[in-house]
Structure 1
Amino acid sequence: MNRLKFIAAVAVAVGFSSAQAETLPLPDGVISLASPEGGAMLFGAEANTDYFPLSIHFATQDNPAYCGPATIAMVLNALDVPRPASDMTLGLGMFDQENIFTPAAESVMPATAIVNPPYGMTINQFGGVLAAHNLDVEVVHAADSDLDTFRDAAITQLKDDDHFILVNYLRKAIGQEEGGHISPLGAYDEDTDRFLILDVTRYKYPPIWVEATALFDAMNTTDSANDGKTRGYVSVSR
């Protein structure tokens, strides 16, 4: 890891650590990024390239239903997608959880629908909003994949800051509270076979390292809002 990346990682980890006191207790089997063990895993991770652009643009979701929009805003900024025009920023503005809903995105999933029952976004709606920003998007339901395929795809993309991998999983399957959730992956540690989830619900949980098997099982759960299909993962690039 070069010096600039090390400094950036330390700065972000400190920020995560300062927020950790406000979060819910972590279940057994996961490791907080803000812990000494979690920090050491990041610095030693075999695939951690995506961590840096995502952490620079980290977003905490604006409300309990907005894990999808927060993740989308992070990824659009990390991919350096042309920003929306703004009189205040001379056309150099950033994406946020409101302006991601362009007319094309609204045609896929209106912002107002996210905060009404059944709340949030399915993985297909999430992928559709990303695609509405002219990105290359692949939505994979866990039932149509397997652990090894997911692991290989995720590692490849975590080593390349032009590609990102985003996960839709059931929180209670990894011992958290409680429903479906969306967040980006930031790194993979081969020694422990764990992925780092950059949880966008920062007020609830810190970023955590989760075993690959446990994460895949949490994705391989039925989403009743998505016609009974399983959750899964999304690969995205420009």
Structure 2
Amino acid sequence: MRQTLFGLLCLGLCGQATAETLPLPESLIALNSDNGQALLIEAEARADYFDLAIHFTNQVHPAFCGPASIAMVLNALDVPRPASDMTLGLGMFDQENVFTPATEAVKPRARIERAGLTLDELGRMFEAHSVAASVHHAADSSLEEFRRAAIDSIGDAESFVLVNYLRSSLGQERGGHISPLGAYDAETDRFLILDVTRYKYPPVWVDAAALFDAMNTPDSDNDDRSRGYLLVVR
């Protein structure tokens, strides 16, 4: 029964995660492991998982974790979608049509390809698509505030939370990264990161305190501000 239910919950997302090429530290739990599956089934907050999973996308460029996450969340929010050759004109956001003249004014695509997005730039990219985005730098927040806001967002199916964190702080390959959160398990105090680099790592369950510490690190492009999280609602 558990495997049948998990198959329905997974919606094809975890089948791609088997392409993992980098080992996970023991502190992280892969979603497609037995323990990871059980956490999703038993999670107290998981409403966002379903809308995000059916729109899950893998970043197509090493610096496109931000654009991939933006496309995924815009689709989950059911924001009106422009045509794109990448999705055969089916009206879905992708990592081509997510770039518009308005987003170019925030940060040109060519610069994103070189340096990615900071947390503040990520928020302004959403605003360029007429979506409300609330930026929260970890240094100006707290673990308790983050946990409460993230759980509320994950559970309401109307808003989404994205995290900007330092991978090496979690024992993963170095560098900053952006991905949405899909679920929360209260018993283990873990969040599910729907990692958009499936060629590196599967979606993982991470301890809330460890995730907050990974966000409370200097942003690589803006050293006077920390990384953090973003709450998005249409």
Same fold (TM > 0.5): yes
Residue equivalent to 1:186: 182
Unaligned runs of 5+ in 2: none
Deviation at 1:224, TM superposition (A): 3.5
The secondary structure found in structure 2 opposite 1:196 is strand
Residue 18 to residue 72, structure 1, CA distance change in 2 (3 Å): closer
8 Å CA contact 1:194–1:209 kept in 2: the answer is yes
Provide the rounded CA distance (Å) in 1 between the counterparts of 2:121 and 2:216: 18
Report whether the alignment pairs 1:130 with 2:126.
Answer: yes
Report whether the alignment pairs 1:39 with 2:37.
Answer: yes
User: Can you list the C-alpha shifts for 1:70-90, whole angstroms capped at 9, x where unaligned?
Assistant: 000000000000010469989
Provide the rounded CA distance (Å) in 1 between the counterparts of 2:202 and 2:65: 14
Provide the rounded CA distance (Å) in 2 between the counterparts of 1:37 and 1:106: 42
Residue 35 to residue 6, structure 1, CA distance change in 2 (3 Å): closer
Provide the rounded CA distance (Å) in 1 between the counterparts of 2:20 and 2:85: 36
Deviation at 1:160, TM superposition (A): 1.3
Structure 1 runs of 4+ aligned residues shifted over 2 Å read 4-8, 17-23, 85-92
Deviation at 1:20, TM superposition (A): 2.2
Residue equivalent to 2:112: 114
8 Å CA contact 1:83–1:95 kept in 2: the answer is yes
Give the TM-score taking structure 1 as reference length.
0.92
Given residue 214 of structure 1, which amino acid in structure 2 is its aligned partner? A
User: Can you list the C-alpha shifts for 1:184-232, whole angstroms capped at 9, x where unaligned?
Assistant: 0000000100000000001000000000000000000011411421000
Report whether the alignment pairs 1:164 with 2:153.
Answer: no
8 Å CA contact 2:132–2:232 kept in 1: the answer is yes
After superposing the two structures, state which structure 1 stretch, 138-147 or 226-235, moved more. 226-235
Residue 90 to residue 206, structure 1, CA distance change in 2 (3 Å): closer
- Identity of matched residues, %: 62
Provide the rounded CA distance (Å) in 1 between the counterparts of 2:147 and 2:98: 29
Residue equivalent to 1:11: 11
